[in-house]
Structures are given as structure tokens and as C-alpha cells.
Chains A and B, each alone.
Chain A
Amino acid sequence: MRVRFWGTRGSLPVSLTSRDLRDRLARALVAANGRDLDTVEKAQAFAEQHLEFSLTHTFGGHSSCVEIEPATTHEEYFVCDMGSGARPFGAHVLARQGGRPATVNIFMSHMHWDHIMGFPFFGPAYVRGTRIRIYGCHEALEQAFRRQQEPPSFPVPFKVLGASIEFVRMTPGETREVSGVKVTPQLQHHSGDSYGFRFETGGKSVVYTTDSEHKLEQRSETERIVGFFREADLVIFDAMYSLADAVSVKADWGHSSNVVGVELCQMARVRKLALFHHEPANDDRAVERILRETQRLEELTRDAHRLEVVAAYDGLEIDL
């Protein structure tokens, strides 16, 4: 199973500014001073080996969109949420299909704007013969997709899209088999509700849990979440806030923290935790600092089980 991150930013897409790029370039040139970097290959190797990740990469970027590619089937696409990352994901689908119509299974955590905004720019939706199934637990799932393409918000009405589009209601806690992949949704705390999804296929499991506030003081709630995460190979986790913010000024805002992510994944014996839905106010250095601190927290609190911690970024691929 392979997981591709097309959009990892929370709430609103962000991008580097010209000033950010200029500052990075200046810092990289200073770091390279005195070195023999007369080819692009040497410069790339130097950047990879000697410069901070947050200087040579960006965490991005687009709002939530994560592709799950099962090892067992390459016939259909599986993707969580249609944030702005759906635009490059759509380009990827079209390029890979080479003119053949695709079947895309979309699993919607909820329909807040940052999770649906990419759909009007999702290329395959305009291609006749493409089959799109949009899965979710919300009653207003279809309405949300149709409404954002109504005037005056967008010039192309939903009804003229070329693809055949079907909306499929799922029931929280009930596992459904979708083209060989077992998918289980679970209710989460978020304004208007959100749903996490557990994907299981070929002996591997991935949990996509974003826009979810975890109140660990409620034992039954903790047990419910731990059961959902249990021994997953990867948990993609909403780590938007610091714990201090999540339990004080941003309590009940519907998001979680890196600290709670580590605790839940340790309890559930998860193998890898991907910090996700990064706070848009955090620049790349801040996200990298949070990653290092989270890895340190895991080290400080580790028992016999080791949890690997990564920070998701647009373009990251994780093979399980």
C-alpha cells in the first residue's frame, strides 16, 4: 500500500512568498560558502546532506487531499478529501490514465470548505466516462458539492460535469468493502461532525483522521479512538494546534495536537504517525520544529513499542 499526500495544510492553502524564497536562497548560499559546488548534482547532494529540511523543502501547500493506493489493485483510485490538493491529484490521474476513463473513490471527512474546494478543479470530473463515487456519512454531502459550483461561486454548474458522479452514504462503525479495500468510518468531534476512515487491504492498515478534537479526559472516548487506531501501520493525524492552545483558547475548535497524537498512537501500538493538517500560520521552520519536538516526545515517553513520527508534506509518499 502506498500513501501519497497531495494536500497537507489545515484550513486554508498557503504558499511560499517571493521573500521566503529569497531568504532561503540567501541562507543556502551562505551555508555553501567555500564549497566546491560547480554542478547541479553536487549542489543537490550538498542541499540534501547539509541543509535543514525546512530550507530545501516546503511542507506546503494545498489543503487536505490524501491518496491511498492499495497494493492489491491499481484499477481504481482511493482518495480522502477534496481540498485544493485535488487539483494536482487530478492531473496525476489524467496523466496516468493516458486517455482511459478512471474510477475514483473519494472519502469525505466532512464538507468544510478547505476539504471540498479542490473539486471544481479536479480534472477527471470533466472527462466523460470517468466514474466518481463520493463516500461520506453526512446527509448534506451531495448538497455541499453541488452548492459550491452554483453561481455566483463558480462558473461551471455541477450538472454539466462530464463524469458519472454517485454519492454513497456510509454508516459510522460499519465496514464497507470498496473494490477490495475494507473502509470503516468513525465519528469525530468537529463542528458539524467529521469522520475518520480506516482503510485495510493486503494486510496493511491506514487511518485518516483529520479535523478531529480528542478529549482524552473521557476514558470511554479514548478507548473508542484507540480501538479505531489499533495497530495501524499509519495514522494520518490532525496535529494543527499545540496542546496548550487545544485545551485553552482553542478548546472546542475541533482540532487536535501533536502531543495527543503521540499518546493515542502509543496506546494503540501504531507503527507510524504522520502529523497532518498543519496550522496555516506556521511556516516551514515551525512545522519542522514541531516535528522534532514530537519525535523527542515519543522518545521520552516510549516503552517497548517504537512509534515513528513524520510530518506530512505535499508530495510525500509513504510505502507500507
Chain B
Amino acid sequence: MTLTPRHYADTLVLALAGRLDHDSSERFRVELEAFLQGARDGRCIVLDLAGLEYVSSAGLRCFMLAAKQAGAQGGKILIAAMRPLVAEIFQISRFTMLFEVHPTVRAALSATSAQAVAAFDNG
């Protein structure tokens, strides 16, 4: 399980890759926590799940905890680019009720800030 940060103007995109299961979720939670200051005072973090192969209940809980902290700071976590298998797990778990989900990173950035999507389009 890897976590790679990219910045687009005022928005942080975190790209996840690999399997987020019971073995990797605690390490992921700690790594993610270090980035959560990026989601405060109206700013958002986009979780790019294009490289995520599988997520367990423990991994989903990490997303929820991050969203809770972001919300308390006045920020938000958005989900983008889920593979079909992960999207189904999200739906079955009803995590679609907890998160704003976008089909692509660009769509998520469009929903957050004009500067971020412009930075994304400029490469």
C-alpha cells in the first residue's frame, strides 16, 4: 500500500496504490493523518483511488476517520477514480453516503476549486 501526494494549486491529491486491508490499514491511517492539515478552512483533499486494488472495512474506517477530522477542521475529503471492485465495496458498505464520490480526479478538482482544476489541466 503506497500513498503519493501531488499538489494542484490549493488542493492536495493523495494517490493510493495497492491493497488497503487489515494488515496495512494502521500504517495507512498514520500516513494519512500526516497530510490532514491539507484539509482545513475550506480546503479539500482528493483521494485518488485509481491504483487501489482492494479496501477492507478497516481501510474504509481510516477514510471515515480522516473525513471526520477534516470536517472538524472546516475541510473536506473527496473520493475519486475508484476501480469497479472498490466502487462496489463502497456501495455495499454505504460509504457512498459518507463521501462525495467523483469518477475522475479532474472531476473532483472541478468540484473543489477553479485554480486546482486549472493547475491539473496545465499538467
Indicate whether A and B interact: yes
Q: Which residue of A lies closest to B90 (CB)?
A: A244
Contact yes or no, A293 B60, CB < 8 A: no
Contact yes or no, A247 B54, CB < 8 A: no
Given contacts A216-B57, A260-B57, whether A243 and B25 have CB atoms under 8 Å apart is no
Say yes or no for A103: interface residue by CB 8 A criterion.
no
Residues on the A chain within 8 Å of B60, using CB: 243-244, 247
A-B contact number at CB 8 A: 59
Which residues, 46 to 77 on B, are CB-close (under 8 Å) to A? 54, 56-58, 60-61, 64, 68
Cα A217 to Cα B68 with chains together (Å) = 17
Residues on the B chain within 8 Å of A257, using CB: 57, 93
Which residues, 182 to 225 on A, are CB-close (under 8 Å) to B? 216-217, 219, 222
Q: Which residue of B lies closest to A264 (CB)?
A: B57
Choose from A259, A260, A294, A301 the contact partner of B54 (Cβ within 8 Å). A301
Say yes or no for A283: interface residue by CB 8 A criterion.
no
Contact yes or no, B97 A244, CB < 8 A: yes
Say yes or no for A306: interface residue by CB 8 A criterion.
no
Given contacts A245-B94, A296-B92, A297-B92, whether A219 and B57 have CB atoms under 8 Å apart is no
Q: Which residue of A lies closest to B99 (CB)?
A: A244
Given contacts A217-B25, A243-B60, A263-B57, whether A248 and B98 have CB atoms under 8 Å apart is yes
Residues on the A chain within 8 Å of B95, using CB: 243-244
Given contacts A217-B58, A247-B64, A263-B57, whether A294 and B92 have CB atoms under 8 Å apart is yes
Which residues, 214 to 246 on A, are CB-close (under 8 Å) to B? 216-217, 219, 222, 242-245
Say yes or no for B100: interface residue by CB 8 A criterion.
no
Contact yes or no, A300 B89, CB < 8 A: yes
Residues on the B chain within 8 Å of A260, using CB: 57
Cα A257 to Cα B60 with chains together (Å) = 13
Cα A219 to Cα B92 with chains together (Å) = 24
Cα A248 to Cα B99 with chains together (Å) = 12
Residues on the B chain within 8 Å of A247, using CB: 57, 60-61, 64
Q: How far does the Cβ of A57 sit from chain B's closest Cβ, in whole Å?
A: 23
Number of A interface residues in the complex (CB < 8 A): 21
Residues on the A chain within 8 Å of B94, using CB: 242-245
Most chain A Cβ neighbours within 10 Å, of B22, B58, B64, B89: B58
Say yes or no for B31: interface residue by CB 8 A criterion.
no
Given contacts A242-B94, A247-B64, A301-B54, whether A217 and B88 have CB atoms under 8 Å apart is no
Residues on the B chain within 8 Å of A244, using CB: 60, 64, 93-95, 97-98
Q: How far does the Cβ of B69 sit from chain A's closest Cβ, in whole Å?
A: 13
Contact yes or no, A243 B85, CB < 8 A: no
Q: Which A residues are within 8 Å of any B CB, using their own CB? A: 216-217, 219, 222, 242-245, 247-248, 257-260, 263, 293-294, 296-297, 300-301
Q: Which B residues are within 8 Å of any A CB, using their own CB? A: 22, 25-26, 29, 54, 56-58, 60-61, 64, 68, 85, 88-89, 91-95, 97-98
